[in-house]
Amino acid sequence: MCETCCSNVSRRTLMAGGLGLLAAASLPLAAQAQANAPGDTPDAALDKLMQGNERYIAGQMRERDFSAGRAARAESQAPFAAILGCADSRVAPELAFDQGPGSLFVVRVAGNFVTPDGLASLEYGAAVLGTKVIMVLGHSNCGAVNATVAALQKGNDLPGHIGDLVRAMKPGIEPVLQKKEEDLRHQAVIANVRANVRQLQESKPILADMVSSKKLRVVGGVYDLASGKVELV
């Protein structure tokens, strides 16, 4: 066998072994049981999210005692979905999808874009904790998106590290400016979500492999601040 093949096999073996050790350490029996539950598929996980959002919109959220199950959650977690969301204080994924503690694995950053640390977290959620769907969740009237649009149009200098947000979001948003879309800011929100969905879908080796083997879905959504409705994009 050639040296290149041996090297590739070795890397794959090491990665698989490393994830196996993480899973063994991080997934006690309760979490493993949920990961293997009947019907626990990417499509079912997405349906569960969207049904929760429908309850939220209708004001029919399930009543919960959040203290119940606290002791069990201290021993393990088995979230069925992960959310890459904006840090905006008006968007709370657990409320928007009517989910209790332990159900969602949430990564948040202003502008809901992929960072190295965020990617590592989402990989951990999918490969170790067993999340079946990742939703990149943008929202209407996003300040980070609006700032990026303004900076790209006017060349604004932003203070501190805020300019880093613009640089990170520019590749996804800039094409919308070039097309001169109507409702520019909303189209920029959608474009930013879609760009980050593609980045996660193509992220090797973990997420791309799980997507191609249909163990994971990566989707985009936009949360409307006024209605609470999440539209898939």
pLDDT, tens digit (0-9, with 9 covering 90-100), for 187-203: 999 999 999 999 999 99
pLDDT at 15: 54
Q: How confident is the model at residue 103 (pLDDT cuts 50, 70, 90)?
A: very high
DSSP class of residue 159 equals: S
Least confident of 16-20, 166-170, 176-180: 16-20
Q: How far apart are CA 206 and CA 191, in angstroms?
A: 24
Structure tokens belonging to residue 167: 């640089």
pLDDT at 10: 44
Structure tokens belonging to residue 87: 């840090």
Is the pLDDT confidence value at 2 over 90? no
In angstroms, what CA-CA distances link 32 with 45, 83, 133, 168, 223?
A: 16, 21, 17, 36, 31
Q: How far apart are CA 30 and CA 25, in angstroms?
A: 13
Structure tokens belonging to residue 135: 């939703």
What is the enclosing helix (H) or strand (E) of 82? strand 81-85
Give Cα 59 to chain centroid, integer Å: 25
Structure tokens belonging to residue 17: 């072994």
pLDDT at 17: 54
pLDDT at 181: 73
Q: How confident is the model at residue 147 (pLDDT cuts 50, 70, 90)?
A: very high
| pLDDT, averaged across the chain | 87
Mean pLDDT of 68-94: 93
Give me the sign of the Cα torsion angle 179, 184, 185, 189: negative
In sequence order, what E strands does 74-166 have? 81-85, 104-108, 133-139
- Summarize pLDDT for 27-62 with one digit per residue, the tens: 443 444 344 453 389 999 999 999 999 999 999 999
pLDDT at 11: 44
Which is more confidently placed, 16 or 162? 162
Q: How confident is the model at residue 63 (pLDDT cuts 50, 70, 90)?
A: confident
* 3-state SS, residue 21: helix
The 10 Å Cβ neighbour count of residue 154 is 8
Nearest to 199 by CA among 118, 130, 142, 132: 118
pLDDT at 3: 46
pLDDT at 72: 86
